Amino acid sequence: MTYEEYEQKCDEIRMRNAAYLDEFREDLFNAGLKEKTIDRHCQNANFYINTYLLREEPLEMTCGTDFFMIDDFLGHFFIRKCMWSTPSTIKSTAASIKKFYSSMLQRGNIDESDYRELIETIRDNMDCWLKDCESYNNPDAPNPFDFF
């Protein structure tokens, strides 16, 4: 795939993602959340589907429920590449992603089995991600990503 083809595919996915994010925003509004909370959830979901999922190859929003994707995002990429990563931001980002995909499930945009896989991955790995993030942010602790 050429760079131009990659960019075109990403633009197409971003357009579809914009519609998903609009649906998500509407669902959060209808749930009675405050605008500031809605904005935070939408920003977190947007970062996951429009930055992370498009960074190496153009992946559709539905790919974000995959074990490898969510584990790599919250357990590696987010910790190492996002200056704002703390155990607290991992939790809040995971909550936003769960809410986003719950909305997508309710609207029929993803399968229930995919949503369950996402929820189980987050539940089963959260403690490890938080521990790794805490260690990574502590200059006196061993780097959990230093394999060599």
On whether the CB atoms of residues 122 and 76 are closer than 8 A, the answer is: no
pLDDT at 74: 97
Q: Provide the pLDDT for residue 144.
A: 85
Instruction: Point out the residues of the chain with pLDDT beneath 50.
Output: 148
Q: DSSP state, 65?
A: G
Tell me what pLDDT residue 81 has. Answer: 94
- pLDDT of the residue at 28: 98
Angle at 140 between CA 139 and CA 143, to 5 degrees: 65
Both tokens of 130, joined, read 């938080």
Q: What local confidence, expressed as pLDDT, does residue 97 receive?
A: 98
Q: Measuring CA to CA, which residue among 101, 106, 96 is closest to residue 47?
A: 96
Whole-number pLDDT of residue 24: 98
pLDDT at 55: 93
pLDDT of residue 139: 86
Any alpha helices (H) in the chain, and if so which ranges?
3-30, 35-47, 67-72, 78-81, 87-106, 112-137
